[in-house]
């Protein structure tokens, strides 16, 4: 069933996403509680709603509070599962007494959405977008932007970078990429779920950043592709490692994924893909499960949801702006899920 644009937006701007039963009210036999990344939240919401239709005895409550909150609450045992766009580190894993199974459930790109009236196609070189977020490029008609957009009338409008105010996997992915392509960034703000951006206005979650960009002429910010797509925001065409200017779409994202092979622990970072046609900022996003669950009902319900997401759930990927996992990745993730006991 197609969603109206209003319904799609309602999904995107909600910070707390909850899968609810449809039709006849019925008490859930099992309720799963999860917290974490806003990056995959629209897709997870769809999965959890569809799974609940097939299995009304299972309800999934997911609070999209950011990857930082997802990892923290998962470590503290406050949820049944977490979600993060930044794979947990060995140190973070060591703090979880019941063990960790990290499952890359989907992938997507981080785009630079912007609000520049009259400009629908904008190319940004690597020097240009690093310079914008370092605060070195402050107006839209700067020569470094103009030189890659010949013939485009760029206004003398102040650039307002929009960043994340919360602990964010999207920030981790974006700053990891900036560190890979810029020594000035690497030795300056660096990489992390939260960094001290030299310039910018902070928004909470991908929905908060999206809303700020839309209401601020001259703004540019980093968001997950699906949020920009569903809210019909223009996205910059970025220069990749091969020097080509590439827009985010299914083909360029798949080319980026193909440049990295998933290792045995399923932690892979695609910091600066080498494929000539690859979009430069692409990432997996991970669901965090415990290795051991005291309640077999919780364990079995979660494994059912995971299996649904890896199979039927992948069909919703393109519609919502995500990358369907390649078959070999689905096989590897399914095998890893067998560790959940």
For the chain, domains (ranges, CATH) are 5-107+283-337 (3.40.190.10), 109-282 (3.40.190.10)
Q: What is the mean pLDDT of residues 171-181?
A: 97
pLDDT of 27 reads 53
Q: What are the tens digits of pLDDT across the range 66-121?
A: 999 999 999 999 999 999 999 999 999 999 999 999 999 999 999 999 999 999 99
Residue 315 burial (C-beta neighbours within 10 Å; 0-12, 13-18, 19+): exposed
pLDDT bin (cut points 50, 70, 90) of residue 259 is: confident
Separation of alpha carbons 103 and 284, rounded Å: 9
Flag whether pLDDT at 246 surpasses 50.
yes
pLDDT of 14 reads 42
Residues 299, 302, 308, CA angle at the centre, nearest 5°? 140
Separation of alpha carbons 235 and 230, rounded Å: 12
pLDDT of 28 reads 64
Q: Is the separation of the CB atoms in 239 and 245 below 8 Å?
A: yes
pLDDT bin (cut points 50, 70, 90) of residue 5 is: very low
Flag whether pLDDT at 196 surpasses 90.
yes
Q: What are the tens digits of pLDDT across the range 111-162?
A: 999 999 999 999 999 999 999 999 999 999 999 999 999 999 999 999 999 9
Q: How far is CA 55 from the centre of its chain?
A: 27
Q: What is the mean pLDDT of residues 174-197?
A: 97
Separation of alpha carbons 297 and 78, rounded Å: 17
pLDDT of 10 reads 41
Alpha helix (H) ranges present in 135-249?
A: 143-146, 169-181, 183-186, 205-215, 225-230
Separation of alpha carbons 144 and 10, rounded Å: 37
Q: What are the tens digits of pLDDT across the range 10-64?
A: 444 343 444 443 333 455 699 999 999 999 999 999 999 999 999 999 999 999 9
- Residue from 102, 104, 81 nearest 32 by CA: 81
Phi/psi for 322 (5° steps) reads -115, 170
pLDDT bin (cut points 50, 70, 90) of residue 282 is: very high
Separation of alpha carbons 170 and 86, rounded Å: 8
- Percentage of residues in the chain having pLDDT higher than 90: 88
């Amino acid at each position: 069933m197609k969603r109206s644009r209003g319904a799609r937006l309602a999904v995107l701007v909600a910070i707390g996403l909850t899968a609810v039963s449809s039709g006849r009210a019925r008490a859930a036999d099992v309720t799963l509680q999860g917290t974490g990344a806003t990056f995959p939240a629209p897709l997870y919401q769809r999965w959890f709603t569809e799974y609940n239709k097939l299995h009304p005895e299972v309800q999934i409550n997911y609070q999209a509070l950011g990857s930082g909150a997802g990892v923290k609450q998962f470590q503290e045992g406050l949820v049944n599962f977490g979600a993060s766009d930044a794979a947990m580190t060995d140190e973070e894993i060591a703090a979880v007494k019941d063990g960790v199974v990290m499952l890359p459930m989907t992938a997507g790109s981080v785009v630079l959405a912007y609000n520049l009236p009259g400009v629908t196609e904008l190319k940004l070189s690597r020097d240009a977008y690093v310079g914008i977020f370092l605060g070195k490029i402050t107006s839209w008609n700067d020569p470094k932007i103009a030189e890659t957009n010949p013939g485009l009338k760029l206004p003398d409008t102040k650039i307002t970078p929009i960043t994340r105010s919360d602990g964010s996997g999207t920030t981790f992915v974006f700053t990891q990429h900036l560190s890979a392509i810029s020594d000035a960034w690497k030795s300056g703000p660096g990489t992390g779920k939260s960094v001290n951006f030299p310039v910018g206005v902070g928004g909470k979650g991908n929905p908060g950043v999206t809303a700020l960009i839309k209401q601020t002429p001259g703004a540019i910010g980093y968001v997950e592709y699906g949020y920009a797509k569903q809210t019909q925001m223009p996205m910059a065409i970025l220069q990749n490692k091969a020097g080509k200017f590439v827009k985010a779409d299914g083909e360029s994202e798949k080319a980026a994924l193909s440049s990295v092979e998933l290792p045995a622990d399923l932690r892979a970072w695609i910091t600066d893909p080498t494929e000539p046609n690859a979009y430069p900022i692409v990432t997996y996003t991970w669901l965090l499960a415990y290795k051991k669950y005291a309640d077999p009902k919780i364990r079995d319900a979660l494994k059912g949801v995971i299996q649904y997401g890896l199979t039927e759930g992948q069909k919703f990927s393109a519609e919502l702006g995500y990358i369907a996992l390649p078959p070999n990745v689905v096989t590897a993730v399914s095998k890893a899920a067998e560790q959940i006991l």
